[in-house]
Amino acid sequence: MSFDLRILVLGQEKPSKFDTRIEIFVEMQGKLRNIVRPFLSEQNGVLYNLGTTQGLLFNAMELIDTEFEKTDKIPVWIKDEGVQSNLSDLFFLDDYREDLINLLKQMINASPKKLIIFWARYQCGDEEIFSGTMTLTEFLEALDRGEILFNICYIIHKDI
């Protein structure tokens, strides 16, 4: 299994260069019609894939991780047990934690709307689950409390 970590910089028309040691690939730019997710496919921006390369394999396993145990942090609106089984606690690995935080700040600032969508996923079903908007500070506090989950998209905006 591998992990994907994708960040959609909303409203961005052209890819940016970011100051980071994390490898970044531009997946798509413009309207994301090639993604089989109803809400995401209607968004405009640049979709970045974050990770590292180990051997010939690029993925986010050096950046983020999970215990793959059933979480007690499942949002109340998710009733389907099949969907619930694909959700697990997400955490940033120590070696890249500060890099990820700095990169998220840079990406928010690169967005004309000051909005990004954070999407960490592993192989799961095709459900599209979004959390409401939060500031980057709120997102990081929720991450530290173990409330950020794999396979949920988080809409993050700049701190005021």
DSSP string, 4-71: EEEEEEET--S------SSEEEEEEEEE-TTSS-TTGGG-EEEEEEEEEEETTEEESTTTEE---SPP
Q: What is the pLDDT of residue 83?
A: 77
Identify the residue whose tokens are 């799961």: 124
Domain interval for residue 130: 4-157
For residues 82 and 35, the model is more confident at 82
Residue 13 has which token pair? 């028309």
Q: Read off the pLDDT of residues 83-133 as tens digits, 9 standing for 90 and up.
A: 777 788 999 999 999 999 999 999 999 999 999 999 998 876 667 788 889
Q: What is the pLDDT of residue 36?
A: 59
Q: What is the pLDDT of residue 92?
A: 96
Q: How many domains does the chain have?
A: 1
Q: What is the pLDDT of residue 111?
A: 97
Q: What is the pLDDT of residue 43?
A: 78
Q: Read off the pLDDT of residues 7-40 as tens digits, 9 standing for 90 and up.
A: 999 999 999 999 999 999 997 666 555 565 667 7
Q: What is the pLDDT of residue 98?
A: 97
Q: What is the pLDDT of residue 30?
A: 60
80 pLDDT tier (thresholds 50, 70, 90):
confident
Strand partners, 53: 58
pLDDT above 70 for 59: yes
What Cα–Cα distance (Å) separates residue 16 from each residue in 10, 24, 69?
A: 12, 10, 36
Range with the lowest mean pLDDT among 53-62, 105-114, 134-143? 53-62
